[in-house]
Amino acid sequence: MTVPEGHTVHRIARQFTADFAGHRLAVSSPQGRFAAGAARLDGQVLTETAAVGKHMFATFESGDVLRVHLGLYGAWDFFGVVSPIVDGQDVRGSMGAPRLRRAVRMGEDEREPPSAEGGLVASFPPDPVGAVRVRLATEESVADLRGPSACEVLDPSEAQAVVDRLGPDPASTDDLDAAGQVVVERITSRGVAVGQLLMDQSVVAGIGNIYRAELLFRARLDPHTPGRRVPREVVRAIWDDWAVLLPDGIRTGAMLTREDLDEDGRARAIADTTERHWVYGRGGLPCRVCGTPVVVEEMAGRKLYFCPVCQR
């Protein structure tokens, strides 16, 4: 299972920008648990969608903001018109599918949405299947949310308060340099292990378990190093690296973190998840650089992977 990290949430926000922004939406809660929130949004025009870290904020014409956090199990299923969101290329889903029959899941894994087969649905709009918390619909596109850890309607100041509690996100800032300084301050002022700080969304937003392990390997940094013992230039290099990996993940839809691959190697790694990472998911397997078995241990309740030799 792949837990959504920042790149997935940015891709989802872009999908909404492509197919839902500017439209008056029918909003419902087929499952019923979001009935009041859905009633407040129903019939409004969606004006803007943005991601910060792992949160998506969809702003409606009244100023109401739908905030969604997918958590461990959440996913969005898109049906009907699902426009390409990157460089005019369809990275996932069925090329050439009939315009109103496409089905694409974005979230916790790469399974197909229920009621879909081969990236298509039999009819549009599809009946909601299972526990759909909220359905957003235009004439041509439907998005179903299931299993989120947060789905709520906020006013603009409440939404801003959520953003203010988050650390910088390289894909949602106009000033990478200033944002990098904030991250350097937040990490180098703490005694907590850097492996834990990178997962702390108030320090830097959007990094999950996979990007955490891979960023630390790419920096050849021991995850147990206390933040205040990490040289400022090393933290800055990790931020700069995150500002490269995140847009790459948004573009490809995959967390491909090996910079040693040529074009063919990248294509293979896109197709085969076991080829994508330096250390993540490789506990006990030989380090791709030095051959030492990759160590897996628990850090703050999550699995941490690292090479004990390369990351000394």
Does 309 bind Zn ion (CB under 5 A)? Our answer is yes
Q: Known catalytic residue: 303?
A: no
Q: How far apart are CA 150 and CA 224, in angstroms?
A: 31
Does 290 bind Zn ion (CB under 5 A)? Our answer is yes
Residues in Cβ contact with 213 at an 8 Å cutoff, skipping those fewer than 6 apart: 223, 277, 278, 279, 280, 304, 305, 306
**Catalytic annotation, pick one of 40, 190, 251, 302:** 302
Strands, E assignment, the chain: 26-28, 46-52, 55-60, 65-69, 75-80, 102-107, 116-117, 120-121, 134-137, 141-146, 150-154, 295-299, 302-306
Q: Known catalytic residue: 297?
A: no
List the x/- string, 134-173, binding to Zn ion by CB under 5 A.
----------------------------------------
Determine the residue with CB nearest Zn ion: 287
Q: Known catalytic residue: 54?
A: yes
**Among residues 202 and 292, whose Cβ is nearest to Zn ion?**
292
Q: List, edge to edge, every strand of the sheet that includes 65-69.
A: 46-52, 55-60, 65-69, 150-154
> Which of 289, 293, 296, 299 touches Zn ion by CB under 5 A?
289
**Among residues 171 and 304, whose Cβ is nearest to Zn ion?**
304
| Helices first, then strands: H and E counts in the chain | 8, 13
Q: Known catalytic residue: 186?
A: no
- Please work out the total of residues on this chain that contact Zn ion, with binding judged by CB under 5 A: 7
**Catalytic annotation, pick one of 11, 14, 30, 54:** 54
Kindly list the residues in this chain that would bind Zn ion in the complex (CB under 5 A).
Answer: 287, 289-290, 292, 307, 309-310
Which residues are known catalytic residues?
Answer: 4-5, 54, 302
